Chain A
Amino acid sequence: MSDNDAMGANLQQPNPVPITVIGGYLGAGKTTLINRLLAQPTMPAGTAVLVNDFGDINIDAALIKSASPDGQVIGLSNGCICCSISDDLSKALDQLSNLPLQRVIMETSGVAEPARVWQHCHYPGFTPQALIVVVDAENFRSQSKDKYVGQLVNAQVDQADLLIVSKMDHNPAFQLRRLTAQLTTTDPSLLATVLGWTRRHPLTATLSTTKTASFAARTWYQQQALSLEELYALLDRQAEGVYRIKGWVEITAGIMQVDRVGERLTLKPMEDRPVPAQLGLVFICST
């Protein structure tokens, strides 16, 4: 479907409003990230923020007003629909659907499985755009082995389109060895990337209405060992629009950790464990 077709199909109704879902376990830094987004001067007008108001709300209301005149904070809850007939999230989206919105940023509850929230974003008038999960570098390892929440925090990471690693200063050696696009909260392109992130998905790609730059990831999965020359060639071939590459690749000399930001490439042999379950590269590109 071309952009023109999408326009034609939507003559009777406005484009659905894209929703960026920000997930992650309790304390990972979701609210801090949202506050940083709201404090940005380039924050597009017409952004609504949905927060989970069963916890402490730390969203800075002043920031919301100054950054986005149409912005609203509406509580939502994680809960089974059968137990809440007036279903908060649906109600919040219904309220928002009367506003001239460009986008919604939705903070999930810390115990939400982001994929379930993603389902919920297919609400009339809305469309899910990206599923971003914040991971706490300081506590992820212990949480991921916890008897009660281990399965949940791993599922949250597995379901993400983009991982944001927070609190690296508390644990500089932290690495999530998996082939999902990831940034740290100190990355200079963090906010633009979060706002522009789009899951590669036929519907969201054509219906997206964001006016900011759009970002997405491509993943290359390694099937067989490469020579160093082949790896360089692979990295060069991907240059266009790609501004970041990260991953783990097996070359003749062993498994290398690959990290390229802009033109700066770091290759270092991986000596410690665990070896990533799947080797390959993630390319973050602007589109």
Chain B
Amino acid sequence: MLTLFKARSVITMNPSMPRASAVLVRDGIILEVGEAENMQPWLQGQQYQIDEQFAEQIICPGFIDPHLHPSMAAVLLPMEFVTAMRWKLPWGEIEPVTDAKTFDQRMQELHASKPAHEPLFIWGYHELWHGEMNKARINAVSEQRPIVVWHRSFHELYMNDATMRMAGIDPAQIKPGMQIDIDNGHFFEVGLGFAINRLNPWILAPERYAEGLQRLKQVVHHGGHTSIGDLATGLFNFDTEAKALAEQLEGDDVPFRTRLVVHGTRLTQGGRKPQEGPELAAALMARNSHRLHFGKHIKLFCDGAFCSQLAQLQEPGYIDGHHGEWLAAPEELERHIRAYWHAGYQIHVHVTGDLGVELTLDILQRMQDEKPRFNHGFTLEHFGFSTPEQIRRIAALGAQVSANVYYLHELSDSYASAGIGYERASQMARLGSCFAAGINTTVHSDFTMAPAEPLNSMWVAVNRENHVGHVMGAAERLTQQQALQAITINAAHAIGMADITGSLRAGKKADFTVLAEDPLTCDPMALRDLDVVATVFEGKVFPVK
């Protein structure tokens, strides 16, 4: 059976024919994109149906988030969100809560809505908006129900007495110096590790984790994705994650495929040499199923977390003089990169600061000197800070960029005033320059670091407006065309799937994202609010309610 999808307009992302009005599909594969009257040769003597449900809408290539973390999402999504920023979630839009009183009200409502004694995990607290948090404040909501209030950064949490009883945390055990303020129920950094270990039976309970992945599935669908990249499979525990992913993200009801990129240092953890890595990674491909694919991809890590100001910066560094951190010794990173480079892998390096970028490019230069490769797909992941000179090097070395552009929206204001100064803060995610240099450039959410909404990433990349409404680095804005490229065909290149998806042309999978309005001609400020009507995954329609 053939299906002829008609639309108000079809945006193909195929530069040879940017627009069309119909797509003809058989067995999940596109037979032809173009005008219906040209498709008769396919239809003669065949059974076919004309699907006009999208006749008034816009068909785009299926959106792709090339870098998110299902495992982190599975932990976070079962929690209740009370956040200062808006989050569109399938089970409801989270309205911003921007003051202490409303935060307490939300805690009360959540408490009232839950079965008694079920622990309540709340995520999204931030002192800037929600005032000082402490145990007494949570106890005031309930002394019986265990309630945990997690900071938006994930780096600290607060709990009430009932949680301490539940988790077996004895205040008498807690000594000064532990980064635990026990009187206020506040656990941070090292203290957070302790608290998490005590809370793990609840946070990582298998049924809760499975529920989390089910929620992730909805989030990914509602964001309009038809492909995603899990850019560190094995982040917590490889076997547990691989099993849960196979159970929850495979099957006819799953409207997207996942590129699994294994966490390289975890893969060889336990004393194995980096040179053993490529073979271990290759063996994972035997696990591939229809929707879950390992490939010749590896994830490695360079410098520290962007949101914790641990990115490694070149001079003049951070205003307060602190330094970022390396996640691996430069020599170690190079040994790993060398092993995978020579084995022909596509290497994805987590890199956040411009000193990290410099190191990564120095290593890549040495690899190119040792063994020149073309079309190798070496990808700089996150790409917080960079310099214009580095853009030239990235292009010259044939690397590509996958940026978390949302940080510009959320953090450029605070980084300008309390981090690195206005100039560099406004030039985070130097994406316009990347496009100008001809670098394959995509954007990602790193979900749960940013909302898994490609249209939201597109909105930030096009407008570069931060959360207080200031345009940051206007010269680096993308056009709507470029930004749509970033979340479709360029993203497909980044996860090594451009041969099957990312644009609409004969021979590719019939992966569509259907929008109510045209993302190339709409008001740029409206981009993040465009309605995702449905997705089509390999020819099958999955409405977004």
Do residues B190 and A56 form an inter-chain contact, with CB atoms below 8 A? Answer: no
- B305 contacts which chain A residues (CB < 8 A)? 80, 82-83
Q: Interface segment, B323-331, B369-377, B450-458?
A: B323-331
Cβ distance B95 to chain A, nearest Cβ, rounded Å: 25
- Cβ of A85 < 8 Å from any Cβ of B? yes
Set A57, A80, A87, A149: member contacting B197, Cβ < 8 A: A87
- A149 contacts which chain B residues (CB < 8 A)? 326, 329-330
Contact with A along B325-349 (1 / 0, CB 8 A): 1111111100000000000000000
- A148 contacts which chain B residues (CB < 8 A)? 312, 326, 330, 355, 358-359
Residue of B nearest to A79 (CB): B327
Residues of chain A touching chain B, judged by Cβ–Cβ distance below 8 Å, are: 12-13, 16, 25-27, 53-58, 75, 77-87, 89-91, 94, 109-111, 113, 119-120, 122-125, 127, 147-149, 151-152, 155, 203
Do residues A82 and B155 form an inter-chain contact, with CB atoms below 8 A? Answer: yes
Taken together as a complex, chains A and B put the C-alpha atoms of A85 and B204 apart, in Å, by: 10
Question: Given A87-B197, A119-B190, 11 more contacts at CB 8 Å?
Answer: A12-B172, A53-B269, A55-B332, A57-B270, A85-B203, A87-B193, A89-B193, A90-B197, A113-B325, A122-B176, A124-B173
CB-CB under 8 A for A122 and B359, given A53-B269, A75-B270, A87-B197: no
**Which 8 A-B pairs rank lowest in CB-CB distance, beginning with the nearest?**
A57-B271, A90-B193, A122-B177, A87-B193, A26-B329, A111-B326, A82-B154, A122-B178
- B189 contacts which chain A residues (CB < 8 A)? 81, 119
- Cβ of B40 < 8 Å from any Cβ of A? no
CB-CB under 8 A for A124 and B174, given A26-B329, A75-B269: yes
- A87 contacts which chain B residues (CB < 8 A)? 192-193, 196-197
Cβ distance B42 to chain A, nearest Cβ, rounded Å: 49
- Cβ of B236 < 8 Å from any Cβ of A? yes
* Interface range for B: 35 or more
Set B174, B237, B304, B358: member contacting A86, Cβ < 8 A: B237
- A151 contacts which chain B residues (CB < 8 A)? 323
Taken together as a complex, chains A and B put the C-alpha atoms of A50 and B394 apart, in Å, by: 39
- A94 contacts which chain B residues (CB < 8 A)? 197
Residue of B nearest to A155 (CB): B323
Most buried by A among B204, B332, B355: B332
Cβ distance A61 to chain B, nearest Cβ, rounded Å: 10
- A25 contacts which chain B residues (CB < 8 A)? 329
Q: Which of B150-193 contact A (CB under 8 A)?
A: 153-155, 172-179, 189-190, 192-193
- A77 contacts which chain B residues (CB < 8 A)? 265, 269
Taken together as a complex, chains A and B put the C-alpha atoms of A84 and B307 apart, in Å, by: 15
- Cβ of B544 < 8 Å from any Cβ of A? no
Do residues A80 and B190 form an inter-chain contact, with CB atoms below 8 A? Answer: no
Taken together as a complex, chains A and B put the C-alpha atoms of A147 and B362 apart, in Å, by: 11
- A82 contacts which chain B residues (CB < 8 A)? 153-155, 305, 307-308
- A58 contacts which chain B residues (CB < 8 A)? 271
Residues of chain B touching chain A, judged by Cβ–Cβ distance below 8 Å, are: 72, 75, 153-155, 172-179, 189-190, 192-194, 196-197, 200, 203-204, 235-237, 265, 269-271, 273, 304-305, 307-308, 310, 312, 323, 325-332, 355, 358-359
Taken together as a complex, chains A and B put the C-alpha atoms of A27 and B335 apart, in Å, by: 14
Set B154, B173, B177, B358: member contacting A13, Cβ < 8 A: B173
Taken together as a complex, chains A and B put the C-alpha atoms of A43 and B301 apart, in Å, by: 37
- B326 contacts which chain A residues (CB < 8 A)? 111, 148-149, 152
Taken together as a complex, chains A and B put the C-alpha atoms of A24 and B389 apart, in Å, by: 33
6 contacts between A and B (CB under 8 A): A56-B271, A90-B197, A110-B329, A123-B190, A148-B330, A149-B326
Residue of A nearest to B177 (CB): A122
Taken together as a complex, chains A and B put the C-alpha atoms of A148 and B75 apart, in Å, by: 34
CB-CB under 8 A for A84 and B235, given A53-B270, A54-B328, A123-B194: yes
- B235 contacts which chain A residues (CB < 8 A)? 83-84
- A13 contacts which chain B residues (CB < 8 A)? 172-173
Taken together as a complex, chains A and B put the C-alpha atoms of A25 and B330 apart, in Å, by: 11
Do residues B178 and A124 form an inter-chain contact, with CB atoms below 8 A? Answer: yes
Cβ distance A109 to chain B, nearest Cβ, rounded Å: 8
Cβ distance B389 to chain A, nearest Cβ, rounded Å: 15
Cβ distance A30 to chain B, nearest Cβ, rounded Å: 12
Taken together as a complex, chains A and B put the C-alpha atoms of A136 and B308 apart, in Å, by: 31
- B75 contacts which chain A residues (CB < 8 A)? 85
Cβ distance B204 to chain A, nearest Cβ, rounded Å: 7
- A120 contacts which chain B residues (CB < 8 A)? 190, 193
Taken together as a complex, chains A and B put the C-alpha atoms of A94 and B169 apart, in Å, by: 13
Cβ distance B326 to chain A, nearest Cβ, rounded Å: 4
Most buried by B among A82, A84, A85, A110: A85
Taken together as a complex, chains A and B put the C-alpha atoms of A94 and B271 apart, in Å, by: 22
Most buried by A among B155, B194, B308, B329: B329
Cβ distance B492 to chain A, nearest Cβ, rounded Å: 26
Set B175, B178, B307, B327: member contacting A78, Cβ < 8 A: B327
CB-CB under 8 A for A85 and B236, given A75-B269, A80-B304, A123-B190: yes
Cβ distance B408 to chain A, nearest Cβ, rounded Å: 20
- B176 contacts which chain A residues (CB < 8 A)? 122, 203
Do residues A80 and B308 form an inter-chain contact, with CB atoms below 8 A? Answer: yes
Cβ distance A97 to chain B, nearest Cβ, rounded Å: 10
Taken together as a complex, chains A and B put the C-alpha atoms of A83 and B325 apart, in Å, by: 14
Cβ distance A271 to chain B, nearest Cβ, rounded Å: 34
Set A56, A86, A109, A119: member contacting B273, Cβ < 8 A: A56
Cβ distance A45 to chain B, nearest Cβ, rounded Å: 25
- A111 contacts which chain B residues (CB < 8 A)? 325-329
Do residues A90 and B196 form an inter-chain contact, with CB atoms below 8 A? Answer: yes
Cβ distance A281 to chain B, nearest Cβ, rounded Å: 30
Taken together as a complex, chains A and B put the C-alpha atoms of A84 and B178 apart, in Å, by: 19
Do residues B175 and A122 form an inter-chain contact, with CB atoms below 8 A? Answer: yes
Do residues B329 and A119 form an inter-chain contact, with CB atoms below 8 A? Answer: no
Taken together as a complex, chains A and B put the C-alpha atoms of A125 and B328 apart, in Å, by: 29
Taken together as a complex, chains A and B put the C-alpha atoms of A119 and B177 apart, in Å, by: 7
Do residues A86 and B204 form an inter-chain contact, with CB atoms below 8 A? Answer: yes
Set A55, A124, A147: member contacting B175, Cβ < 8 A: A124
Set B194, B203, B273: member contacting A124, Cβ < 8 A: B194
- A124 contacts which chain B residues (CB < 8 A)? 173-175, 178, 194
Cβ distance B67 to chain A, nearest Cβ, rounded Å: 14
Taken together as a complex, chains A and B put the C-alpha atoms of A12 and B154 apart, in Å, by: 33
- A110 contacts which chain B residues (CB < 8 A)? 329, 332
Most buried by B among A53, A78, A90: A90
Cβ distance B469 to chain A, nearest Cβ, rounded Å: 28
Taken together as a complex, chains A and B put the C-alpha atoms of A82 and B172 apart, in Å, by: 26
- A152 contacts which chain B residues (CB < 8 A)? 323, 326
Cβ distance A250 to chain B, nearest Cβ, rounded Å: 30
- B172 contacts which chain A residues (CB < 8 A)? 12-13
Cβ distance B458 to chain A, nearest Cβ, rounded Å: 26
Do residues A26 and B332 form an inter-chain contact, with CB atoms below 8 A? Answer: yes
Cβ distance A72 to chain B, nearest Cβ, rounded Å: 14
Cβ distance A114 to chain B, nearest Cβ, rounded Å: 13
Taken together as a complex, chains A and B put the C-alpha atoms of A90 and B119 apart, in Å, by: 23
Residue of B nearest to A95 (CB): B197
- A79 contacts which chain B residues (CB < 8 A)? 327
Cβ distance A156 to chain B, nearest Cβ, rounded Å: 12
CB-CB under 8 A for A122 and B325, given A26-B332, A82-B155, A90-B196: no
- A56 contacts which chain B residues (CB < 8 A)? 271, 273
Cβ distance A140 to chain B, nearest Cβ, rounded Å: 15
